[in-house]
Chains A and B, each alone.
Chain A
Amino acid sequence: MTAKLTDVHSRRFKYRSALILLAAAILGSAVVPILGTSYHISLLFFLFISITLASTYDILAGFTGYLNLGHVVFFGIGAYVFGITMQAGGGTALALALPPLLTVLFSVAIAYPLFRLRGAYFAIATFGILKVMEVLASNLRDLTGGTTGLSIPPTSSTEITFYMAGGLCFAAIILNAWIAHSRLGLGLLATREDEEVAEGSGINTTRIKIYAMALSAILPSLAGATYMWQMTYIDPASAFGSDIAFVPVIMALLGGSGTILGPVIGAIFLTVVEEVLWSHVGYLQLTMYGIVLICVGIFMPGGLMRSSIFARLHARIGLPNHYGYQPYRLFRITRGDSNGRGDHQ
Chain B
Amino acid sequence: MDIFLQILIGAVLQGALYALGAIGLSLSFGVLKILNLSHGDFLMLGGFLGFLALSYLGINPFLSAMLAALFGCAIGWLFYQSLISRIVGRSFRQMLTTSVMITLGVSLVIEDTTSFLWGGGSTGIPFQLSNVELGGVVFPLLRMTLLTGTILLTIGLHLFLTRTYVGRAVLASSMNPIGAIVVGIDIRFVGMLTFALGIGLAAGTGVFYATLYSIEPFMGLGLTLKYLAIIIVGGMGSLPGALLGGFIIAASESYTTYYIGAQWSPLVAFMILIAALLIRPQGLLGKAET
Stretch at the interface among B49-57, B99-107, B125-133, B145-153: B99-107
Give the dominant DSSP class at B's interface: helix
- Judge whether B232 and A121 touch: CB under 8 Å: yes
- Judge whether B104 and A246 touch: CB under 8 Å: yes
- Judge whether A294 and B274 touch: CB under 8 Å: no
* Residue A139 lies at the interface, judged by CB distance under 8 Å to chain B: yes
Count of chain A residues near B, Cβ 8 A: 47
Please count the residue pairs between chain A and chain B whose beta carbons lie under 8 angstroms apart in the complex.
131
Chain B residues, CB < 8 A from A9: none
- Determine which residue in A113, A128, A250 has the highest number of CB atoms from chain B within 10 A of its CB, and name it: A128
Contact partner of B112 (CB less than 8 A), chosen from A123, A136, A253, A284, is A284
Contact status of A286 and B264, CB under 8 A, knowing A65-B93, A124-B225, A128-B270: no
Contact partner of A192 (CB less than 8 A), chosen from B33, B93, B270, is B93
* Residue A119 lies at the interface, judged by CB distance under 8 Å to chain B: yes
**A131 to B274 CA separation, bound complex (whole angstroms):** 11
- Judge whether B108 and A253 touch: CB under 8 Å: no
Docked complex: A235-274 residues within 8 A CB-CB of B: 242, 246, 249-250, 253, 257
**A290 to B110 CA separation, bound complex (whole angstroms):** 9
Chain A residues, CB < 8 A from B86: 298
Chain B residues, CB < 8 A from A289: 105, 108
The minimal Cβ–Cβ distance linking B29 to chain A, given in whole angstroms, is 8
* Residue A135 lies at the interface, judged by CB distance under 8 Å to chain B: yes
Instruction: Scan B187-212; emit 1 where CB is below 8 A from any A CB, else 0.
Output: 00000000000000000000000000
- Judge whether A253 and B225 touch: CB under 8 Å: no
- Judge whether B270 and A287 touch: CB under 8 Å: no
Specify the chain B residue showing the minimal Cβ separation from A283.
Answer: B116
- Judge whether B102 and A293 touch: CB under 8 Å: yes
**A170 to B33 CA separation, bound complex (whole angstroms):** 37
Chain A residues, CB < 8 A from B92: 119
- Judge whether A297 and B102 touch: CB under 8 Å: yes
Chain A residues, CB < 8 A from B105: 289-294, 297
- Judge whether B97 and A132 touch: CB under 8 Å: no
The minimal Cβ–Cβ distance linking A267 to chain B, given in whole angstroms, is 16
Docked complex: A96-141 residues within 8 A CB-CB of B: 113, 116-117, 119-121, 123-125, 127-129, 131-132, 135-136, 138-139
Instruction: Contacts A293-B105, A298-B83 known; list 16 others, CB within 8 Å.
Output: A67-B96, A117-B278, A124-B225, A127-B225, A128-B273, A253-B97, A257-B97, A284-B113, A286-B112, A290-B104, A293-B108, A294-B102, A294-B105, A297-B99, A297-B102, A301-B94
Instruction: List residues of B whose CB falls within 8 A of some A CB.
Output: 29, 33, 35, 83, 86-87, 90-94, 96-102, 104-109, 111-113, 116, 221-222, 225, 228-229, 232, 263-264, 266-267, 270-271, 273-274, 277-278, 281
8 smallest A-B Cβ distances: which pairs? Answer: A290-B108, A293-B105, A297-B101, A286-B112, A294-B105, A290-B109, A290-B105, A297-B102
